[in-house]
Amino acid sequence: MRNPNREVLIRADRQVIPSGRLWNPDADVYRAKEGWIVKVDLAGICSDELEIEVRDSLLSIRGCRRDTHYREGFVYQQMEITYSRFEKTIQFPSTIEGATVRQDYRDGFLIIDVRTE
Amino acid sequence: MPDISETAPAAEPPPASTTQDEALRFSAIATGQKFELPVLALQNLNLFPETVVPLGVGRPRSVAAVEAALGTPEKLLGCITVRPERSDDTDAKQADLYDVGTLVIVKRMERLPDAMRILVQGTERIRVVEWKQEDPYLKAVCEVLPEPRIVDGDQVEAAKRNVQQMIQEALALLPNIPAEVRIAVLSSVEPVRLAYFLGSILNLGVEEEQKMLEANTADELLRLAHNNLARELEILQLRSKIASEAQTEMDKAQRDYVLRQQMRAIQKELGEDETGEAAEAELLRERLEKAELPDEVRTEAERELKRLERLPPAAPDYHVIRTYLEFILELPWLKSSEDKLDLGEARRILDEDHYGLEDVKERILEFLAVIKLRPDTKSPILLFVGPPGVGKTSLGRSIARALGRQFERMSLGGVRDEAELRGHRRTYIGAMPGRIIQSIRRAGVNNPVLMLDEIDKLGNDYRGDPAAALLEILDPQQNNSFRDHYLDLPFDLSKIFFIATANQLGPIPPPLRDRMEMIRLAGYSDREKLEIARRYLIPRQTTENGLNQAQLKIEDEAVERIAALYTREAGVRQLERNVGSVARKVALKIAQAQAENVTVTANDLREYLGPPRFYPELARKELPAGVATGMAWTEMGGEVLFIEATLLPGGRGLTITGQLGEVMQESARAAQSYLWSHAADFGIEPEIFKEFGVHLHVPAGAIPKDGPSAGVTITSALASLYTGRRVRPDTAMTGEITLSGLVFPIGGVKEKVLAAHRAGIRRILLPSRNEADVDDIPEDVRNELQIVFVSNIGEVLDAALEVLVANPPPHVVTSDSARGGRQPEPEPLSVKG
């Protein structure tokens, strides 16, 4: 049902941001002698629920963060940590296919060591 | 909640993205998977996958749904829109919701005093399979729908590019779109994501948005997005076109304005327009703000001023409006003068200005007394009727002085166009307000004494009847909102003290007469004239002709003679003119040093004024049989006239001459018939009526006369003629007769009696029913007169003829039996005191 009297083409009250299907954690990428070191801000995940995929020059990290601290009877007062499925794809300047990928989980960061040498 | 990680990636996700050819268990939930979810009902809003949207959540049930979602490890929530047909504000039922919605992740939540704010990210489309509960929050088993499939990749790509092109165009017309939106829109390469984003950002309405959400193929989705965007763009372009046209128009107005400013500067240089119309309008506005105006008038004036400000001074309407506004500002809408309410002072002023006229002064003082007791009294409307020169106009002036009010006079003589009183509509060229409103403006207050002079001389023709307009003006019930055609605003005339003057009552239409309180000003007696001359006329003429009081004295006898022999009037205007002539002649003498001071006696008058101009009908010393003295009323006052009758041997009937009107001729016939039928009673030989004709003449023959009041006189003249007995020469008479011999009352008693007195007559016959009018006669005159009241012809003849008739006809006497047993007496009754 279109309102014939509506005024604005674009609704200023809808602060819509286009996004991907899933949320994206933040990541730093270091260039090292042996290759690349990727540090992803991903606290509170379980390594079972993590997938790392290398394809051409792309490194994809997917997984799911679950809230394991919630107990029956809790009431959320504030929530700023995003849970559920996430996805992060990092593009490298050259292909990394065939590189050795090792993952480490330290101090709440997911460290991925990509050795091309 | 399902454990998504355990979901087997059974179904291949649609080949939308080439990077997703392998099933990856975290990237998407398998299509067709069912799980239970808390559901948030959205009003007027659709959520699409692949968008992040902040939402305010206020309803208790919605808050409960969000809290339920937050209580799960993954914070998943279903968002389903309420169908738009629903308009009431209660919580939506299951049936009110669409089937297809969006699965979202609640990313953030913060609590506000009475609501919560959440940030959600749409992930997949879902369809409700089964509702589980409505309270405390909606809960349903939902099935995940596949991402829209691309059927024809090229077509989708083409549509996408088109959409992007249109977005470019739209953004060019929308300067206020935030930069991040621009970037987001233009950098979005995924067709489905772009379409969903458009769906959420364009204001399409729930139905259209739902259609987009339910589209199962990318082709369909892009087509919808394309069409909607195209329509929006068209509207946007149209609007922009209108705006730019308005802009052009405004530019033209701007250009005119600049040119006009330049012209003004040039005019100023030339010294042609020093004030300028802007200054003029400004000045008017200032005056308008200061002026005391009723609300209605102020609104109208402001509207006109606005029109004036928009007009160039060369426009024909400009001056019309300016004149109109100035007129409105000059009118005393709310300004009244304060009444002087000192009765003693008022009496003094009236006495100072006018001698005599006791009735009128009394009436004015009565009115003042009423105002004093009740200040909001409506002003009276007076009508002064009287002969010229008796002081009607100056009395008005003096009333104004006594009341302390402004005096304005307007002459209605010869006015025959209604528009002269009521004004012309402003649409006419040269339109002016009517005379009434103009007089008020001149007076400067809304309660002047307004004199409507010569109201009996109003004319009327095809242009309208001014008397009819006066009906409204002089009606105290209506004139508080008198609408002048020019003003077109109601003006309150009810505070005006109207005084109308007239010489005659006859020509004034009865409805108009009815609205006014009539006060008659009869003529002055000789004694009064003398007094007026002494007090006002001589001093005034002396001063006006450059003399002082010591240099000119006019003896009373001289004044009386001027009044009698050099003037014939009820008023004192000619008397004053003659006094003025005398004064000028005296001034000449004094200027030529022939005399130092002059006393004018009666005998000097021939020298100053020439031979007497009028020989008034003085009482004749002896009247032959057949002649009787009558009295007549004229506009100039009263007059004495003689009715002469003579027998024509062998003649027939009644010949009547002397410019007599029909009524008077009929009176004559009635008189003759009465005498004929009662011949025996008066000792008349009946043969005489057959053998002789009668000629009746009333000098002066050139002056038309009419009216019934000569009936008594004619009867006396005829009776005298038939009986041979003479009418007493010291007696004048007036009265209407009937065929049965009764005497009816007549008008103008005072004028008639004064005229008879002037003529030297000292015995008057009046109808008994006029007895009350005798009080109007000045005392000094009354004291010198013997007044006989008669009620039938028998009494008339008894009193008038020299030899008394022995027995008056008995049937005539009876008519007067009601009058306090007063019998018709042969002996005349004299009235004294």
CA distance A100 to chain B (A): 21
What values do phi and psi take at B822, rounded to 5? Answer: -75, 120
Which residue of chain B is at minimal alpha-carbon distance from A8? Answer: B203
Alpha carbons B710 and B419: distance in angstroms, whole number: 43
B112 vs B615: CA distance, rounded Å: 117
Are residues B790 and B744 in contact, defined by beta-carbon separation less than 8 angstroms? no
How far is residue A82's CA from residue A80's CA, in Å, rounded to a whole number?
6
- The reply to whether B673 belongs to the active site is no
- Start-to-end CA distance of chain A, whole Å, equals 62
Task: Give me the residues of chain A with pLDDT under 50, please.
Answer: 1-9, 12
Picking from B484, B501, B520, the residue at the C-terminal end of a domain is: B520
Given B139, B361, B750, B752, which residue is catalytic? B752
B538 lies in a domain? yes
Q: Which residues of A touch B47 (CB under 8 A)?
A: none
From chain B residues 34-63, the ones with a CB under 8 A of any chain A CB are 45, 49-54
What pLDDT sits at residue A28? 93
CA distances from B668 to B7, B677, B710, B717, B721 (A): 139, 14, 8, 10, 13
Q: What's the farthest any 2 CA atoms get from each other in chain B?
A: 160
ipTM over 0.85 threshold: yes
Asked whether the beta carbons of B738 and B744 are under 8 A apart, the reply is yes
Cα distances (angstroms) measured from residue B713 to each of B183, B239, B626, B707, B785: 122, 99, 10, 12, 18
Average pLDDT for consecutive 10-residue bins of chain B (833 residues)?
Answer: 37 36 51 86 88 88 91 91 78 87 93 89 92 90 89 87 84 71 71 85 84 91 89 83 80 82 77 62 84 88 85 79 88 84 85 82 82 78 84 85 88 83 85 88 89 84 78 82 87 88 85 85 79 88 86 86 81 88 88 83 85 71 82 77 86 83 87 87 82 85 77 88 85 89 86 84 89 84 88 85 52 38 37 34
Contact B49 A21 (CB under 8 A): yes
Please tell me whether residues B688 and B756 are part of one structural domain.
yes
Distance from CA of B86 to the nearest CA of A (A): 12
Same domain, B453 and B560: no
B679 lies in the same domain as B774 = yes
> Is the distance from CB of B805 to CB of B679 less than 8 angstroms?
no
Contact at CB, A3 and B180, closer than 8 angstroms: no
What span, in angstroms and rounded, lies between the C-alpha atoms of B331 and B339?
20
Which of B559, B574, B609 is the C-terminal boundary of a domain?
B609
- Indicate whether B749 and B691 sit together in one domain: yes
Whether residues B351 and B395 share a domain: the answer is yes
CA distance B278 to chain A (A): 39
Q: In whole angstroms, give the CA distance from residue B819 to residue B832.
A: 19
Whether B533 and B504 map to the same domain: the answer is no
CB-based contact, A5 to chain B, within 8 Å: no
CATH number assigned to the domain comprising residue B742: 3.30.230.10
What is the SS3 string spanning B724-760? CCCECCCEEECCEECCCCEEECCCCHHHHHHHHHHCC
The pLDDT value given to residue B108: 92
For chain A, what is the radius of gyration of the CA atoms? 20
Cis amide linkage into residue B136, ω under 30° from 0: yes
Best of B1, B7, B27 to disrupt the A interface (most A CBs within 10 Å) is B27
Residue B426 maps to a domain: yes
Chain B nearest C-alpha distance from A106 (Å): 22
Final residue of a structural domain among B609, B637, B668: B609
Give the pTM: 0.50
Same structural domain, B476 and B573: no
What is the spatial distance between Cα B811 and Cα B128, in angstroms, rounded to a whole number?
124
Q: In sequence order, what are the beta bridge partners of B763?
A: B731, B786
Residues B513 and B533 in one domain: no
Provide the number of CB pairs (under 8 Å) joining chain A to chain B.
Answer: 141
Tell which B residues from 191 to 250 touch A, by Cβ distance under 8 Å. Answer: 193-194, 196-197, 200-208, 232, 235-236
Please identify which of the residues B337, B667, B709, B720 carries the catalytic annotation.
Answer: B709
Among residues B408, B407, B391, B399, the alpha carbon closest in space to that of B349 is found at B399
Residue B221 domain-assigned? no
How much is the pLDDT for B509? Answer: 86
User: Do residues B424 and B549 share a domain?
Assistant: no
Residue B297 resides in a domain = yes
Smallest CA–CA separation between A72 and chain B, in Å?
Answer: 8
Residue matched to tokens 């968002």: B79
| CATH for B547 | 1.10.8.60
In b/e form, how buried is each residue of B60-80, taking b as 16+ CB within 10 angstroms?
Answer: ebbbbbbbbbbbbbbbbbbbb
Contact A21/B235, CB-based, under 8 Å?
no
All residues of chain A having their beta carbon less than 8 Å from the beta carbon of residue B53 are 14-17
Residue at B6: amino acid letter: E
Contact B649, B692 (CB under 8 A): yes
Structural domain that includes position B656: 627-816
* B250 inside domain: no
Pick from A3, A5, A17 the residue to mutate for testing the B interface (most B CBs within 10 Å): A17
Do residues B85 and B20 share a domain? yes
Q: Angle at CA B751, nearest 5°, toward B745 and B756? A: 95
Whether B768 sits among the annotated catalytic residues: the reply is: no
In a domain, B262, yes or no: no
Which of A8, A21, A75 lies nearest to residue B203, judging by beta carbons? A8
**Angle between helix B295-310 and helix B316-330 axes, rounded to 10 deg:** 150
Contact between residue B630 and residue B643 where contact means Cβ atoms under 8 Å apart: yes
How many other CB atoms sit within 10 Å of the CB of residue B762? 14
pLDDT the model gives residue A2: 40
Which domains are present in chain A? 27-115 (2.60.40.790)
Residue of A nearest to B185 (CA): A18
Number of independent structural domains in chain B? 5
**What is the Cα–Cα distance from B358 to B347, expressed in whole angstroms?**
11
